Amino acid sequence: MSLRYLLQRLATLLLVLFGVSILTFAIIPLVPGSPARVTLGVQATDASVAALEHKMGLDRPLPVQYWSWLSGIVFHGDFGTSLISGKPITEQVAHRLPATLALALAALLIGLLIALPSGILSALKPGSARDLGVSVMSQIGVSIPDFWLGILLILLFAQILHWLPSSGYEPVSQGLGAYLRHIVLPAVTAGVISGSIMARFVRSAMLEVLGNDYVRTARAKGLAEQRVIAKHVLRNAAITVVTIIGLQMATLLSSVVVVEIIFSWPGLGSMALTATLQRDYPVLQASVLLFAASFAVINLITDLSYVLLDPSLEYA
Amino acid sequence: MKRLILTVGVLATMAALSLGFAQKSGGTLIAAWAQDPVGLDPQIASARSSLEVLENVVDKLVALDPQGKVIPSLATSWEVSSDGLTWTFHLRHDVKFSNGRPMTAQDVVYTYTRMLDPATGSGQKYLLGSTQSVTAPDDYTVQFHLKTPNVALVAHLAAQASVGIIAKESVDNGTINTQPIGTGPFMITNYQPGSELILKKNPYYWQQGLPYLNEVDIKIITDESVRQTALISGDVDWAISVPPQSLGQLQNDPNLVVDKTSAGAYWYIGVNLKNQYLKNPKVREAINYAINRKDITDAMSFGTGVPTQDPIPSSSAWAYDYAPYSYDPAKAKQLLAEAGYPDGFRMQIMPTTQYAQSVRGAQVIQQELGQVGIKVTIKNLEWAQWLQEEGKGNYDTYVCSWNGLVDPYDFFYAQQRTGQVFNFTGYSNPQVDKLLDEGNVTQGFAQRKAIYQQVNKMVVDDAPYIYLYNPANIQVYQTYVKGYAARPDQNIDFVKTWLDK
């Protein structure tokens, strides 16, 4: 793993982000609707819309708007202010980042607790009742609509049993108990679905490796089955599994919007959705950039992890 | 005898004192809002979710009592000149903003001058009517100088937070849209868009002893079934709205109060009078006979609304029940044939995903109009796009509502008068214009009512708007929440709310 490779990857990342930002900036204003009209509602007159759009800086030529936005980020680290709420976007992102990360990690953890055991165990006895059971369960898990599962859990645990709160996020500073009680249901909702998706990949990755010659050789050498699994199979299946974990993590950071809405979870996904619906251009730009960056970074981490898992791999 | 008088006196005093001591000060009300505010600048924000917050942060010169009568607030008295062109308001001397600064007439002048300034981009300045300028002859007197007389001005100055008095400081330091400074019972201390807004008690509030609450913690719970669960499980104390189909269940819950009142609002079909078919009055008449308002109301409001052919709800003193139409598909078909469309025609209806009831209504209307030969396609748009299309006139018909209406002017003027700001249908009837202008300058309840009744009749006959129903305003809260009442003007008012626990 050379430094040059790393720098190359980082340079590519910046290029990708730059391209994404230009594309978003060009496309978004094409969508009908304006944040001025959203603010004024049905009581919009052409004059007040024009006045507000001027205040929002939307009557400047696009390249001027783009440069003003870009230079704010590059030179001041400032993502600008929301056209709708007037709040600084950096502050909004900072507020939502801990909640988003917490939910993504918790959901991923629950997902792995589901996916790893079930995927591995079913792969070890393909075609068995156990395998069928896992297949059916993961099929159900993948097909369940997240809003249905979320509302069901809320009804059961909040309304009927009164064990857990119905919605909301509590930061750890408010007490670990409150934090955990609020994160359980949304994490389970997102985690069950994520885990069901990952289980199938774990299973197929395991099956693929189990069919390889070196596994037969290891068994022929007389190694204990457990050792075969642990030393050869898991290690090699790990690459595929790590890939899918990376993709799931990226999804959990940006695309669990429905879970965020149901549980009133202050995540970045729902921030992006609201910004889209309200035509809050700077918030939307910032969200897209953040998601693109997170995908790219996770990608990079995943690629780097391959080297740890398989020393025969080399990056020039 | 002396003994008797003394006893009665003591008992009376004790009774009076105990009434005064019933309310408990302190505590935090956890309130569930349905939607995120869309900006908090009182003069620009139009979303109900914004105004509902701001009502507790700013005060107006005058206010409305629960029956809709104008009462003093920041102004103790007012008078209008004999020519109707100058309104003079006398202000209280003891009002302070939440930052401690005393409020004077200059603040009122500043607020309304900003509102009238086109550069501000206020969509609410129509509330000031024909006001050209606002001046302050002294520190506690404000004068509105009108171009033409406007009887509804004082009602509008009481209507909603848009005409609340703000402190210049919040505009100067750029926080007017996030943390406006007003003289209201609460002030905004923390706002996280999309999740939470914290209101804390204004330590300088001019009404002694009020508010009782220390804090209102507004949680934005957009999913209505989750909001309902939050109420039932006790996670929130108060909810701004609940799924109307659950009212029966909630009414049976001994821990909850269902507070229902009729709202100064109406749902309607807006008709584009430039459309080649809809510009024919017989066609609009036919539509009025083709729809079943009761079915539409049930589908849209789950039975909580009141079907109507007129905009003003029957609970208002200004109500006028003019109902020339009935559900009569045969008559509708006959009228269409007379208009030259025996086989009907094609038309679009535009509800919005923002309001699920508009979509349900559109579906029923589509079905009912189909029965008389009008083939309706539904163009269901998300809010921002809907606003764009409605503003530009790119629709045949749309389904929407007007809310927070009090004075009869509110129900007709800006929407139906030729060339007025919210006349999106293109309606123009010189007789209606004349009557509306007259209603603007006529004093006296009976005379004004007569004028607006004529307007009502003409508008219902001409049908640029096809009125559907008057909705109810329903809030649900725990039984220990006292001192709150749902209001017909749909304002959310926590000033006298307290927690009995």
Q: Residue B210: helix, strand or coil by DSSP? A: coil
Spatial distance between the Cα atoms of A216 and A222, rounded to a whole number of angstroms = 10
Determine, for residues A95 and B192 on separate chains, whether the beta-carbon distance falls below 8 Å. Answer: yes
pLDDT at A315: 63
Tell me which residue in A45, A51, A264 faces B421 most closely, judged by beta carbons. A45
Reported as a single tens digit per residue, the pLDDT across B369-399 is 999 999 999 999 999 999 999 988 999 999 9
Is A63 at the interface with chain B, CB within 8 A? no
Tell me which of B138 and B18 has the higher pLDDT: B138
Reported as a single tens digit per residue, the pLDDT across B404-437 is 888 899 999 989 999 888 898 999 999 999 999 9
pLDDT at B479: 97
Determine, for residues A33 and B385 on separate chains, whether the beta-carbon distance falls below 8 Å. Answer: yes
Return the residue in A97, A159, A185, A277 with the most chain B beta carbons within 10 A, the one to mutate for interface testing: A159
Which residues from A are below 8 Å from B122, CB to CB? 48
* Pairing of the two strands B481-482 and B472-478: unpaired
Reported as a single tens digit per residue, the pLDDT across A68-99 is 999 999 899 899 999 999 999 999 999 999 99
Determine, for residues B220 and A264 on separate chains, whether the beta-carbon distance falls below 8 Å. Answer: yes
CA atoms within 13 A on the CB side of B26: 3
Provide ipTM, 2 decimals. 0.87
Residue B14 has pLDDT above 70, yes or no: no
CB B223 within 8 A of CB B17: no
Q: pLDDT-based confidence at A231, cuts 50/70/90?
A: confident
Average pLDDT over residues A252-257: 91
**End-to-end CA, chain B:** 42
Residue type, B284: R
DSSP per residue, B139-173? TTEEEEEESS--TTHHHHTTT-GGG----HHHHHT
Residues 367-406 of B with CB under 8 A from A: 382-385, 387-391, 400, 402
CA atoms within 13 A on the CB side of B139: 7
CA atoms within 13 A on the CB side of B15: 6
Residue B240 has pLDDT above 90, yes or no: yes
Which residues from B are below 8 Å from A258, CB to CB? none
Average pLDDT over residues B199-207: 97
Which residues from A are below 8 Å from B383, CB to CB? 38, 277
DSSP A13: H
* Token pair 């509502």 in the structure block, residue: B401
Determine, for residues A266 and B192 on separate chains, whether the beta-carbon distance falls below 8 Å. Answer: yes
DSSP per residue, B412-450? HHHHHSTT-TT--S----HHHHHHHHHHHH--SHHHHHH
CB B161 within 8 A of CB B46: no
Is A43 at the interface with chain B, CB within 8 A? yes
As a whole number, the mean pLDDT across chain B is: 93
DSSP B274: T
Q: How many angstroms separate the CA of residue A164 from the nearest CA in chain B?
A: 9
Phi, psi of B331 (to 5 degrees): -65, -40
Tell me which residue in A43, A87, A95 faces B46 most closely, judged by beta carbons. A43
Is A254 at the interface with chain B, CB within 8 A? no
CB B498 within 8 A of CB B21: no
Phi, psi of A17 (to 5 degrees): -60, -40
Determine, for residues A49 and B121 on separate chains, whether the beta-carbon distance falls below 8 Å. Answer: yes
- Cβ pairs A/B, distance under 8 A: 157
Q: How many angstroms separate the CA of residue A220 from the nearest CA in chain B?
A: 58
Among candidate residues B373, B308, B365, the one with its CA nearest the CA of residue B336: B373
Sequence-ordered list of residues with C-beta below 8 angstroms from that of B175, at least 6 positions apart, any chain:
A86
Q: Which residue of B has its CA nearest to A40?
A: B46
Biggest alpha carbon–alpha carbon distance for chain B:
90
Q: pLDDT-based confidence at B200, cuts 50/70/90?
A: very high
